[in-house]
Structure 1
Amino acid sequence: MFIFPTIDLVATGKNIVRLREESGLSVRELQDIFGFATPQAIYKWQHGSTMPTIDNLIVLSAVFKVSLDEIIILEANKKISA
C-alpha cells in the first residue's frame, strides 16, 4: 500500500492569502499582474475552491519570492494499494 500526498486546497488558499499580504499586495494588484479581467480566479484560489494552474503557481512563486513548496500545502492521506 502506498500513501500519496494530496493538495489541501483550503490550506493552500489560506497560504496564498498570507503570502499575498506579506508581500504587501492587494487582490487587485495580483489581478493586474496576471492580466485577469476580474479578480474572481484569485478569490477562488484564496478560498480553496480552485487551484492556480502550474503556470500561475510559477508566477505566484516569483511574485512572492518563494518556492512552489512554500505555496502548496500537502497532506499525506491517499492510500492506494498496488
Structure 2
Amino acid sequence: MFVFPTIDLVATGKNIVRLREESGLSVRELQDIFGFATPQAIYKWQHGAALPTIDNLIVLSTIFKVSMEEIIIVETKISA
C-alpha cells in the first residue's frame, strides 16, 4: 500500500483567493506585481485550472507572508 500526495487544484485556487483577499490585494494588483500583460494566469490559479510555477509560488508566499506549504492544498490518496 502506497500513500501518494496530490495537489488539490481547486482547493489551492480557493486558498489563493482567500489569501489575496486577506492581503487586501486585487487581481489587477497581483497582475502588476508579477508584470503579467493580462490577469489570465491569476484567474487560472484561482479557478484551479493551473498552478503557479515554483518561482511564482515563492513570490506569492512573500506577498501573502505565508509559506508555500500554506498556499498549496495537498491531499493524500492511498493506492494498493
The TM-score, its normalising length taken from structure 1, stands at 0.94
CA contact (8 A) 1:12 1:73 kept: yes
Q: Runs of at least 4 residues of structure 1 off by over 3 A?
A: none
Equivalent position of 2:4 in the other structure: 4
1:43, 1:78 → 2: CA distance?
Answer: 31
Amino acid at match of 1:36: F
CA, structure 1 residues 37+73, in 2 after alignment: closer, same or farther (shift >3 Å)? same
Q: Does 1:42 align with 2:42?
A: yes
Which 5+ residue runs of structure 2 have no aligned equivalent?
A: none
Number of paired residues? Answer: 80
Gaps of 5+ in 1: none
| CA root-mean-square deviation | 0.9
% identity of equivalent residues: 82
Cα distance in 2, alignment partners of residues 16 and 4 from structure 1: 23
Normalised to the residue count of structure 2, the TM-score between the two structures is: 0.96
